[in-house]
Amino acid sequence: MIMKYLIISKINEVLEQTDRSEQYEDIEDSAILLQIGLDSLGFAILIALLEEELDSDPFQLMDEPVYPTTFGEFLSIYEKYSV
Amino acid sequence: MSNPLVDIFSQVPSERVYIQNEIESLTYGDIKCSITQFSEDYAYLAGKNCALVAHSRFEIAKFLPLIASVANKVFLQPKCLKEEVQNEFYGKSNIEYVINVTRSSIYTTKVSDISHLQEVEQEWLLSTSGTTGTPKLVSYNITSLMKTSKKDVTKGSHFRWGLCYDLNRFAGLQVYLQAIASGSPLTITESSDELPDSVKLFVDNNVTCISATPSFWRKVLMTKGSERLELKRITLGGEISDQTVLSSLKKHYERSHIVHIYASTEAGVGFSVKDGLEGFPADFVGPSKLSSVELKIADSILWIKSDRAASAILNGSITIDDDGFVNTGDIVEIKHGRILFIGRDSGAINVGGNKVIPEEIEAVLNSHPRVIQSQVFGKKNAVLGMLVSAEVINEKAVELDDQKALKKELITFCKDKLDSFKIPAMIKFVEEIAVNESGKIERKR
């Protein structure tokens, strides 16, 4: 749960940084990642900011490469790789 | 004068689709007729050096064969070229006519009156993107450009290509020539299209071959609906292909052949890697391991020599050693029998295919009143390959809260002055930045 809200707060930070008007209090697991207001650059920044916060980048630790399409998939990657 | 591009339109069965998008579809036969008509309507362009400016990729594909059928030289001019660069290019390449194409009309403008020699083989001119400074004008000979494309018209009916690059850039032109040399249909997306729409168009048109940057492919993999693509050939180029993206593509498109390309703008050539592993085998280095190019590594830099591609850079300079090797500027390392790309010798950062020069961003940061010095470098990123990161020395030590505010202020400051991909995504405040004896920042390797 904590991870979910950390990610949402970082998503809000990136949205602001990339001049988007959206801000979220909650995001449903089924939400399509590329439709929440972040483009590739936004996602790249999100992953970098999360790495700053968590000291790890699960995308570089994964043994089975996965590119998430929904928020739920994105979250579960972070929950799996961040202890 | 026989022209290998124009010849295609009389060799391919006329009912075969040449190009298509969501609203229009043209056959090879349509273009064959247009070629005849064009040479009558625009007889005055015969033997002239022409620049083609079009507002979409589709229009370029529609008019390129027509112009190639009459012109001496063809300059595929990018839309947003600065006027002084445009004039320099026109002068260097002796352009006589500019041909502007929009959806509804075509008009030509005479820009100069130069008498020139007729080339035996048609020359095509491309501009490099110039994100790393002044764009360079590079000339290619049409015959040698088409030499590497497979020309099997029977086999070509089994392949359907998708275009996601600009047609007036080398990568896009290669996809185009590859597709049409075998008479395959090419589905064209525009740079303004949203990715889910492009993916849908590719699915609807049963596209089986796509060439794109690793960053583009990562985004495709994140797009719902992309699992419906039935790809036979996947090509990656334009930036470093990491193992994650290669493996992920193989997992999603099990039946596809995946190829990643290494190409050097400096050398005007490249080679492909087909084993699905990042980097390339160490035994590519040395004499005649590759058919068309020779590689060597000196001081961790990759040098490349080639007898192919009669390309010449008409402005700008390249470094060539006594043995004819060109310095690619790419830093490599050898690991477990593979040569891996680490980055650019110049410190240039490749953000999803866009090149970023650290000095440009440092100059902007340094112009902020609270910044004493800054260093910009690339940070590895799972989505875009690299991301711009900065370390900044500011006037006095700042508290953590103030750091956040200053970071925000610096990002806002950069927004007015830089493209979005150049704005540092991460900014760290430091007390020291390493410089070498001559006072220059040591670029991280």
Give residue-wise pLDDT tens across range B80-116.
888 889 999 999 889 999 999 988 789 999 998 877 6
B301-306 β-sheet, strand order: B280-281, B338-344, B326-335, B301-306, B293-298
Residues from chain A contacting residue B387 (CB–CB below 8 Å) = 44-45, 48
What's the pLDDT tens digit per position in B248-301? 999 999 999 999 998 876 676 778 899 999 999 999 998 766 667 889 999 899
In a domain, A29, yes or no: no
Q: What confidence category does residue B169 fall into, taking pLDDT thresholds of 50, 70 and 90? A: confident
pLDDT computed for residue B211 by the predictor: 94
Q: What confidence category does residue B328 fall into, taking pLDDT thresholds of 50, 70 and 90? A: confident
In a domain, A65, yes or no: yes
CA B295, chain centre distance (Å):
22
Q: Please, are residues B345 and B301 in contact by the beta-carbon 8 Å criterion?
A: yes
CA B112, chain centre distance (Å):
30
Residue B309 has pLDDT above 50, yes or no: no
Rounded CA gap, B396 and B118, in Å? 66
Residue A54: give the domain boundaries: 2-24+45-81
Q: Kindly identify which residue of chain B lies nearest to residue A44, measuring between CA atoms.
A: B383
CA B327, chain centre distance (Å):
19
Residue B310 has pLDDT above 50, yes or no: no
Residues from chain A contacting residue B420 (CB–CB below 8 Å) = 18, 41
Residues from chain B contacting residue A66 (CB–CB below 8 Å) = 248
Q: Kindly identify which residue of chain A lies nearest to residue B219, measuring between CA atoms.
A: A40
Question: Which ipTM was obtained for this model?
Answer: 0.90
In a domain, A66, yes or no: yes
Residue of A33, A67, A81 to mutate for B, most B C-beta atoms under 10 A:
A67
Beta bridge partners of B137: B127
In a domain, A67, yes or no: yes
In a domain, A56, yes or no: yes
Q: Out of A40, A45, A57, whose CB is closest to B219?
A: A40
Three-state DSSP at B236 gives: strand
Extract the tokens encoding B51. 């620049």
What's the pLDDT tens digit per position in B355-401? 888 989 999 999 998 888 899 999 989 899 999 999 998 877 667 67
- The angle, 0 to 180 degrees and rounded to 10, between the axes of the packed helices B4-11 and B57-70 is 100
Count of domains observed in chain A: 1
Beta bridge partners of B427: B390
Contact B383 A43 (CB under 8 A): yes
Span B23-40, average pLDDT = 96
Averaged pLDDT score across all residues of chain B: 88
Rounded CA gap, B127 and B134, in Å? 10
Q: Over the range B23-33, which residues count as b (16 or more CB within 10 Å of their CB) and which as e?
A: eeebbbbbbbe
Rounded CA gap, B75 and B168, in Å? 9
Please state which of the four CATH numbers 3.90.550.10, 3.40.50.620, 3.40.50.850, 3.30.300.30 is assigned to the domain occupying B349-429. 3.30.300.30
What's the pLDDT tens digit per position in B194-251? 999 999 999 999 999 999 999 999 999 989 899 999 999 999 988 889 898 999 999 9
Q: Out of B382, B389, B420, whose CB is closest to A59?
A: B382
Please give the C-alpha separations between residue A15 and each of A68, B175, B379, B430, in angstroms, as whole numbers: 19, 35, 20, 26
